[in-house]
A = this chain, B = another copy of it.
Amino acid sequence: MADPLMQRTVFIVSDSTGITAETFSHSVLSQFEQIEFEQIRMPFIDSARKASEAAQRINRCAEEQNQPPLVFSTLVDPDIALLIRQANCTFLDLFGTFVQHIETALGVKPSHSIGRSHMGGLSKQYNNRIEAINFSLAHDDGQFVHGLEQADVILIGVSRCGKTPTSLYLAMQYAIKAANFPLIPEDFDRGSLPATLAPFRRKLFGLSIQATRLAEVRNERRPNSQYASLKQCRHEVASAERLMRMEGIPWLSTTTKSIEEISTKVLEEVGLNRRAY
């Protein structure tokens, strides 16, 4: 048997996708670095029958490991949640813990309807997300300049500094139409922004990256090329940063940041305050 202090099983139980509970569990468990967590996802638990099966699985796990697993739940229906709570586990009830408190604060009753946070493929909000994803794909890497006036933000920066994942994340998570446009050696020789971007100056946001990290990333793609050489990376990064400073374009370094962190900074700087889907 594994050392009970060093390995623990975590169940994610939800009547919908479980993504909320999963994101939350990951965030809070990252505080317990000494422990290795094995995660088991149990989505779409939307009936008493499925909940009983889930509870049995949790009980089997507790028995096999000789310790109760952690269960993060976003189950909305109190009767379904009760079936899991009665299993041999540490039950962390995200929904139930806060909904009462919120109910009191708001003075209205919750609907207790299942799966409301994902309204499926037919809502306006949802269509906006899909439209934003299509826009970001079509306007990736400056490949399509027509329609840039519809962009909410246009990310600029040297090749491989993180523009594409950030654009896609902004579209996916926030329905933001994020185009991106590369800064290339010709721009640095000329010493000015690509002419295409001139009308959209106020939508521009720059990404940069440490030259040594950029060389690593480019070397994975094109090993030992001039494109990936530290010298070339140093030149491009310094030139891009000089150009952005000169043109007064806000920018940040992506070197040690995740896509989420970069995207959150972009939202702040560009003054967009969208809701997550």
Contacts and interface: CB of A to CB of B under 8 A. Distances in A.
Interface of A: 5, 8, 16-20, 22-24, 26-35, 39-41, 43-44, 68, 70, 74, 76, 90, 92, 94-95, 97-99, 101-102, 105-108, 110-113, 116-122, 126, 129-130, 133-134, 137, 140, 162, 164-165, 168-169, 172-173, 213, 254-261, 263-264, 267-268, 273, 275-277
Most central of A32, A101, A273 by chain B CB within 10 Å: A32
Given A92-B102, A172-B259, A264-B18, A111 B27 contact: no
Contacts of A44: 264
Contact of A92 (B23, B40, B98): B98
Nearest to A275: B39
A50 B121 CA distance: 39
A75 B257 CA distance: 19
Nearest to A114: B31
B122 A28 contact: no
Contact of A31 (B68, B99, B172): B99
A66 to B, nearest CB: 14
A267 B43 CA distance: 10
Given A39-B273, A118-B261, A121-B254, A111 B172 contact: no
Given A31-B99, A41-B273, A110-B31, A105 B20 contact: no
A20 B18 contact: no
Contact of A26 (B130, B259, B275): B275
Contact of A5 (B40, B102, B107, B268): B107
10 contacts: A26-B117, A26-B277, A31-B76, A32-B108, A39-B275, A40-B273, A41-B267, A120-B256, A121-B257, A134-B164
- 7 smallest CB-CB distances across A and B, nearest first, come from A31-B110, A90-B105, A118-B258, A120-B256, A17-B264, A30-B116, A27-B117
Nearest to A89: B105
B102 A256 contact: no
Contacts of A111: 31-33
A119 to B, nearest CB: 7
A19 B27 CA distance: 10
Contacts of A254: 121
Contacts of A122: 213, 255-256
